[in-house]
Structure 1
Amino acid sequence: MAINLTKGQRIDLTKTNPNLKKIIVGLGWDTNKYAGGYDFDLDASAFLAGEDGKVKYDQDFVFYNNLEGGNGSVIHTGDNRTGEGDGDDEQIKIEFDKVPSHVHTIGIAVTIHDAVQRNQNFGQVSNAYVRVINEETNEEILRYDLGEEFSVETALVVCEIYRHNGEWKFKAIGSGFQGGLAALCRNYGLQVD
């Protein structure tokens, strides 16, 4: 049975589940009906950061234009441009044994593509969640529902998966940013043109 988390909670992933080697981070959302004339295109991404919280190499930023990072340890399964249907809208797979030693935190984020041009924000998004699934058993380990506290934000750091004393843990973040993907990139130390 999956554990439901609230903002700020941390949970151990590998210490209590020593056989957990591969996970799927599933992200889902619905968009509220509005007459803006554009579809919503939400995008998941992963920032593979060092101890200082910064991404050391460009290839360690995993998103729709770079589907693999961390020497193949983190794989984005592809861009869903509409969010239609039930279940996860986008997924990121992580294989713990392959994560390079320079990576201490994997920040999972969701952004709204062309949010400013389309006049869109997370106040128009509902039922957003992240869940962690054991890839080998397809069992849902945990779930974090983000709630409706966002209004003008165009980017969210949903959670972090991080190393602590040789084990992997999960932290429910739910922190919003204005400025979309560029703001998140700067937050994680990446140069943005």
Structure 2
Amino acid sequence: MAVSLVKGGNVSLSKEAPGLSSVTVGLGWDLRRTDGQAFDLDASAFAVGDDGRVLSDGHFVFYNNKTSPDGAIVYGGDNRTGDGAGDDETIRIDFGRLGSAVKKVVVAVTIHDGAERRQNFGSVANAYARVVNDADARELARYDLSEDSSTNAAMIFVELYRSALGEIKVKAIGEGWQSGLAGLASSMGVNL
């Protein structure tokens, strides 16, 4: 059974799955209500160094840059509607290929043009991030977002990192930006 995380909580994925080397972060959501405009959510990942900023613009992985420079982080594809059961989008992280300069991988979801269209996570229901072991497809941890992010157009769901002891860990973040992708990417050091 997967560990259920609360905002700010973390768990050692290495203890849950000894020998873990690669995971897929599955992200899902449903639309609660809209004003009739198109509503498109997008997953992304930021490979950041000690300073909390991306190592390069190429370390911002999303629908227009599907793979990090080292090939360790791969964007799984764009679901523009969120329809259907299961994960809407995925980010795969291969820790064996991840460069030592990467201190954590920040996984976020943004509403495409959300700030401009005045769309936010208040119109999103059942949002979650789940971490799955690629070796056996077992769900190791899950974070269900709460309602306290309703005014934001971009959300950091989780961070994955290696601890000082070398364990692979995941932390539930649940932090948002009303300014959407532009504000989030800028805070991570990406040049848009």
TM-score between the two structures when normalised by the length of structure 1 = 0.95
- Counterpart Cα distance in 2 of 1:106 and 1:185: 13
Native 8 Å contact 1:48 1:70 kept in 2: no
- Counterpart Cα distance in 2 of 1:69 and 1:15: 27
| Equivalent runs, 1:101-116 vs 2, <5 Å | 101-116=100-115
Partner of 1:37: 36
Partner of 1:130: 129
| Equivalent runs, 1:3-22 vs 2, <5 Å | 3-22=3-22
Q: Which runs of 5+ in 1 are unaligned?
A: none
| Equivalent runs, 1:169-184 vs 2, <5 Å | 169-184=169-184
- Counterpart Cα distance in 1 of 2:191 and 2:52: 14
Partner of 1:155: 154
Partner of 1:47: 46
Q: Which runs of 5+ in 2 are unaligned?
A: none
- Counterpart Cα distance in 1 of 2:150 and 2:56: 32
1:138 maps to amino acid: A
Deviation of the 1:163 alpha carbon? 1.7
2:171 maps to amino acid: K
- Counterpart Cα distance in 2 of 1:57 and 1:92: 18
- Counterpart Cα distance in 2 of 1:141 and 1:177: 27
- Counterpart Cα distance in 2 of 1:132 and 1:70: 22
Partner of 1:59: 58
Partner of 2:86: 87
Deviation of the 1:30 alpha carbon? 0.6
Partner of 1:24: 24
**3-state DSSP class of the match of 1:37?**
coil
- Counterpart Cα distance in 2 of 1:191 and 1:74: 19
Deviation of the 1:16 alpha carbon? 4.7
TM-score between the two structures when normalised by the length of structure 2 = 0.95
1:89 maps to amino acid: D
Deviation of the 1:81 alpha carbon? 0.6
Answering whether residue 140 of structure 2 is matched by residue 167 of structure 1, we say no
C-alpha RMSD of matched pairs (Å): 1.2
Deviation of the 1:151 alpha carbon? 2.1
Partner of 1:98: 97
- Counterpart Cα distance in 1 of 2:53 and 2:115: 26
- Counterpart Cα distance in 2 of 1:163 and 1:144: 19
Partner of 1:142: 141
- Counterpart Cα distance in 2 of 1:188 and 1:164: 21
1:189 maps to amino acid: G
Deviations 1:3-23 (A, max 9, x none): 111000011112453221111
